[in-house]
Amino acid sequence: MGHAIQGRARYTWGQTVSLSPTVHRVRVRVGELLLALALAGCTTWHEPPEADETALRERATSTTSHDVRVSATILDSEDSKRIYGADINGTKVQPLWIEVQNGTSQALWLLRSGTDPDYFSPHEVAWSHHTLFGGATNSSMDDYFAKLAFGNPIPPGETRSGILFTNPDRGIKLVNIDLLGNHTLIPVSLFVRVPGGTMDPHLAQTFPETAITDYTDLASLRAALERLPCCATDASGAVQADPLNAVGIGQLTDIGAALIRRNYRRDARAPDLAQRVFGREPDFVMRKEAQTGAPATWIRGWLTPIRFQGQLVYIAQVGRPIGGRFAPRGKSHLVLQGNVDEARNFLIQDLMYSTGLDKLGFVNGVGAAPSTHPRTTLDGATYYTDGLRAVVFFAVRPRSLSDVDFIDWAPYLERRDTVQRGATGDAGR
């Protein structure tokens, strides 16, 4: 009775009970599986013999600003396997190699959040490749990933390089680099091609030179902006879609850098492509996702045949889905929330905090629609608005909130009092 025999299990007080052959086989298989996992944990990962940056440097995109040269390359799966001994890209992380040559007389610090507000730390990426019984191997992986990360500071006259783990982009990636010194910020922006991707044809959208009008004064610019269509349409051009309630003016790198710093990401979905302006789909769609990936504010933008003192001019829709951050995750079709002015105003405030906003004004062009007589858009959604479109001028950062100039165009506050008073409780936010 005191000895265990095959097919029996001992209770703590010495009794035994017979086990069926099936249960016994399951126990054996579980034991074999645990052993296999333990062995796998010891042998899965080995530190690569070297992390050669030569190939990354050779295909890097580079630029120089204020005596600082910045280079950047996106790693593909083969690069990450060679350098890390693991396919980092397979975990929906995009490794970005950065090199900074500091030609100034002071130390500089790279602000990682400026490149990607949701960047991944080396330890969390390493953890995604840990094995169940990795033990010392997992610890070695942590140390190795941390060693290859970009390290601060960059001393004067020296060069530093390393890798930053970012969220993935397709086709082309706007890499924003903010270098902080003593009373100094050196912002640099680069368009870096994603391996295997091609340039987004929408970003390269242009008009014949004969169709472009470059305005040099604010009065004529305002008149041109107010002549733009009030709304998008469907593909036929016969059915009115969402209102065009914002205009962005500036260089593409400055516009993109400001949006990235406020965590907007390119994310076009099927409903976005149903909206047409100038007979085409949006040139870009960006979304600011809330916590846990909830859908939030979107921006659909179209390049116009208008320039202002050589700067690009985009017309845009700014909206949010019904339910906002409480809308179901992963829902493919998001219906426009009716208070489009609130979404527009949220974007304005967001851009002020990006330190890239130079001027702000409001023009007519959408047409007022009170909440008692809302308009209907493509999918049956309704919206109400004060009829104004915000015009935001972008500049090379940094610009503080107190540096923003307000253009005396449409009297926004007065318009809110006369058009929206009593229409809805939160329209003026």
pLDDT of residue 44: 77
DSSP E strands in 234-371: the ranges are: 240-243, 246-250, 264-266, 284-288, 298-308, 311-319, 357-364
Contact 280, 304 (CB under 8 A): no
- Specify if 3 maps to a domain: no
Same domain assignment for residues 116 and 250: no
Q: Are residues 287 and 309 part of one domain?
A: yes
Placement of tokens 């449409």 in the chain:
410
Let me know whether 257 and 361 are in one domain: yes
Q: Residue 350: inside a domain, yes or no? A: yes
* Residues 28-48, mean pLDDT to the nearest whole number: 63
The number of helices, as runs of H, and strands, as runs of E, in the chain is: 11, 22
- The whole-number pLDDT of residue 329 equals 67
Q: Are residues 36 and 134 in the same domain?
A: no
23 vs 287: CA distance, rounded Å? 53
- The tokens describing 116, both together, are 């990607």
Q: What is the mean pLDDT of the chain?
A: 86
Alpha helices, DSSP H, located in 299-339: none
Residue 235 domain-assigned (yes or no): yes
427 pLDDT tier (thresholds 50, 70, 90):
very low
Q: Are residues 231 and 327 in the same domain?
A: yes
Tell me, yes or no, whether 158 and 186 share the same domain.
yes
Asked if residue 425 belongs to a domain, the reply is no
Tell me how many domains the chain contains: 3
String of b and e for 109-124 (b: at least 16 CB within 10 Å)? ebbbebbbeeebebee
The rounded distance, in Å, linking the Cα atoms of 108 and 184 is 9
Same domain, 19 and 150: no
User: Is pLDDT at 8 greater than 70 in this prediction?
Assistant: no
Range of the domain at 231: 209-420
362 and 240, same domain (yes or no): yes
CATH of the domain at 128: 2.60.40
Tell me, yes or no, whether 298 lies in a domain: yes
Residue 279 sits in the same domain as residue 321 = yes
Spatial distance between the Cα atoms of 365 and 390, rounded to a whole number of angstroms: 10
Burial class (CB in 10 A: 0-12, 13-18, 19+), 54: exposed
Q: Are residues 358 and 231 in the same domain?
A: yes
Same domain, 28 and 82: no
Query: pLDDT tens digits for 58-112?
Result: 999 999 999 999 999 999 999 999 999 999 999 999 999 999 999 999 999 999 9
pLDDT of residue 175 exceeding 80, the answer is: yes
Contact at 8 Å (CB) between 65 and 55?
Answer: no
**Which of 132, 167, 193 finishes a domain?**
193
Do residues 213 and 347 both lie within one domain? Answer: yes
395 occurs within a structural domain: yes
Do the domain assignments include residue 12? yes
Of 193, 223, 245, the one marking the end of a domain is 193
User: Does 121 reside within a domain?
Assistant: yes
